[in-house]
Amino acid sequence: MVLLVFCITLMMGLAMSAQASASDGAKVNLERAKKMIAAAEIKAAEIGVPMVITVVDEGGNMIAQHRMDGALLASIAISRDKAYTSVALKMSTETAASVAQPGQSLYGINTTDGGRLVIFGGGLPIVVKQNVIGGIGVSGGSVEQDVAVVNAGLAAWK
């Protein structure tokens, strides 16, 4: 029994090590999240729309969230869930919208995961070397405005 536990622990450690090296150790942390949020806020201010901006880690757990003065209260949960969705599905919420339409491969997916999956634009995964290491979501404007702001936020990652 002890040998079995040791083997399982060793295998888990090796798997985690391989995953970490695959993404080159890049990790979403508070410092980088703040930079992304600042860039997104600048874009939101430029277009005159108060937004809520959320950054999550590879598990969809919140790293940081920022609500601009006057942003909709509903945008707090929506931005968080957009960031979560982009990590959970490993795609933008805009892409999720297109594949979740009637007759498409993921139709109805937004009714799963406790209703957390958002299928309209404004959420993007943070991808390093083909590995999703986090996500950013914004809410407060039209879908087009949210997409412009989230793109500005993600651009600050690079």
Q: Tell me, what's the pLDDT at 22?
A: 47
Residue 11 lies in a domain: no
- The reported pTM is 0.84
Q: Tell me, what's the pLDDT at 19?
A: 44
Mean pLDDT across 71-76: 98
Domain span including residue 148: 25-155
Residue 139 lies in a domain: yes
Residue 16 lies in a domain: no
Do 116 and 149 form a contact (C-beta atoms < 8 A)?
Answer: no
Residue 14 lies in a domain: no
First to last CA, the chain: 47
- Average the pLDDT over each of 21-25, 84-88, 94-98, 144-148 and give the range with the smallest value: 21-25
- If phi > 0 it is left, if psi is from -120 to 50 it is alpha, else beta; for residue 107 that is beta
What's the rounded Cα separation, in Å, for the pair 69 and 105? 39
Residue 9 lies in a domain: no
Residue 119 lies in a domain: yes
Mean pLDDT across 28-33: 96
CATH code of the domain covering residue 74 = 3.30.450.150
Provide the domain count of the chain: 1
Residue 20 lies in a domain: no
What's the rounded Cα separation, in Å, for the pair 68 and 130? 32
Q: Tell me, what's the pLDDT at 24?
A: 64
Residue 12 lies in a domain: no
Q: Which of 38, 49, 68, 77 is nearest to 141 (CA)?
A: 49
